[in-house]
Amino acid sequence: MIDRPRHTLRLTDASPPTADLVIVGGGIVGAATAFFAARAGLDAVLLEKRPALATLTTPVSTGAFRLQFDNPEEIALVREGVELFERFADVADLPGYDIGLQRQGYLFCTTSELGMRRQHEWVQAQRTWGLDDVEVLSGDEVRYRFPHIGPRVLQARYRGADGWLKPRALALGYAIASGATVCVDSPAIGFERQGDRVVGVRTPRGTIACREVVLAAGPFSEQVAAMAGLKISLRPTRRQKLVIPDLPQVPQDAPMTIHEESVAHWRPALRGAYALWTDPDAPPMDPLDAVPPDPSFAFELLDPASPRALAQVSPFWADVAASGGPDWILQAGQYEYTPDHKPYLGPSAVPGLHLNCGYSGHGIMASAGGSRLVVDLITGRADPATNPFRPDRPLTERPLDIL
């Protein structure tokens, strides 16, 4: 027997014949599922159709996490993950493993009186849900604390314990610590059934017989579910990230800075910044392995005259534009939105098939809490009746212009 070095994956060129659990999808959510499956004593196989784990949507994210949600269920889900992030190397038994955790805060800035009222209402509600460390700052207070904020900002809500990390490092850490058998270049191409129950997953390298299957295929989850005869509502939607590798004007100690009205936001990254905005009119699309970026996305953020301009909140961005603009790279991926923007977690209508998908852009921060819950439902440690994310819940439509 050959001992594997620490911090390496358990890769195989052939699909094993059996497993307790097969996880379809090797992004951060699938890797987190493998991690919690191992902690529950399950022998797991992690299937990824691409040549490497966590290379589709996971690395396109900003890696950010926050507890400033508008509902207690997601606050609790993400809080569980943040507590794990803080001590990941110890919990995962990976001494020295670095997920790049930085807690520089989330700063939601408003430029309207309506936004000011909404911020007070949200913070008041959050305090009733146990989130008591969100501050409401006046315009003068926020400029005193954060000099990059401009005069148009009337008020802000801020939580200093929010932050970001390296999402692919976290995903690979989950997978390594799980000890799961990892099969790359191994898409799920069908399911074996015994009566109504799923009892195996077919891959190009053979069929893996198993007791349970978890579907964690991100924007492809609806298509994979259909192979098992399960219909779910998922809406893959393009989301883009502007990467500015080097920009001295960016204060590297700044928080994630968000314009509440336009949802345009940026955070320090590399020696520059990541910047984004959410288009509420973006239509759903088919899931894609290569999502095409649109340069107009970058111009909307960098042009000071744009309604999505970063300069509305942080005036130094206007100076950057006036000097000709920075060098930038544009990345594109897909959020897999559910109608209410909350994930599908738990057993589906097809016996043996469990869902861990539909995170609607919150997969990095909610991967731990959601995956732990799915595994606990499989092993009987959680009560399905108390699961607020059960796939058969009533779904209420939610607009896209709320982070």
Question: Is 153 within 8 Å of 113 (Cβ atoms)?
Answer: no
Q: How far is CA 218 from the centre of its chain?
A: 10
For residues 123 and 261, give the distance between their C-alpha atoms in angstroms, rounded to a whole number: 17
> How many C-beta neighbours within 10 Å does residue 373 have?
23
Identify the burial level of 70 via C-beta atoms within 10 angstroms of its C-beta, where 0-12 means exposed, 13-18 middle and 19 or more buried: middle
Pick one of 1.10.10.10, 3.30.450.30, 3.90.25.10, 3.50.50.60 as the CATH number of 10-64+167-234+338-386.
3.50.50.60
Helix, strand, coil abundance in the chain, percent, nearest 5: 30, 25, 45
> What are the E-state strand segments in 245-324?
256-259, 265-269, 272-276
Per-residue pLDDT of the chain (403 residues), as tens digits, is 344 456 789 999 888 999 999 999 999 999 999 999 999 999 999 999 999 999 999 999 999 999 999 999 999 999 999 999 999 999 999 999 999 999 999 999 999 999 999 999 999 999 999 999 999 999 999 999 999 999 999 999 999 999 999 999 999 999 999 999 999 999 999 999 999 999 999 999 999 999 999 999 999 999 999 999 999 999 999 999 999 999 999 999 999 999 999 999 999 999 999 999 988 889 999 999 999 999 999 999 999 999 999 999 999 999 999 999 999 999 999 999 999 999 999 999 999 999 999 999 999 999 999 999 999 999 999 999 999 999 999 998 887 666 6
Say what the pTM is. 0.96
Residue (of 77, 46, 129) closest to 345 by Cα position:
77
The alpha carbon of 217 is separated from its chain's Cα centroid by a whole number of angstroms, namely: 13
Q: What per-residue string of b and e applies to 129-158 under the rule 16 or more CB within 10 Å gives b?
A: bebeebebbebeebbebbebbbeebbbbbb
Q: Are 149 and 156 in contact (CB under 8 A)?
A: yes
Burial 198-232 (b: 16+ CB within 10 A, else e): bbbbbbeeebbebbbbbbbbbbbbbebbeebebeb
> 3-state DSSP call for residue 249?
coil
The tokens for 375 are: 């595994």
Domain range list for the chain: 10-64+167-234+338-386, 104-161+236-336
| Spatial separation of the C-alpha atoms in residues 236 and 337, rounded to whole Å | 6
> To which H or E segment does residue 81 belong?
helix 72-86
138 three-class SS: strand
Q: How many CA atoms lie within 13 A of 118 on its CB side?
A: 14
In angstroms, rounded to a whole number, what is the distance separating the alpha carbons of residues 201 and 190? Answer: 6
Considering the domain 104-161+236-336 in this protein, what is its CATH number? 3.30.9.10
DSSP 8-state secondary structure symbol assigned to residue 271: B
Question: Bridge partners of 243?
Answer: 274, 329
Q: CB–CB of 107/162 below 8 Å?
A: no
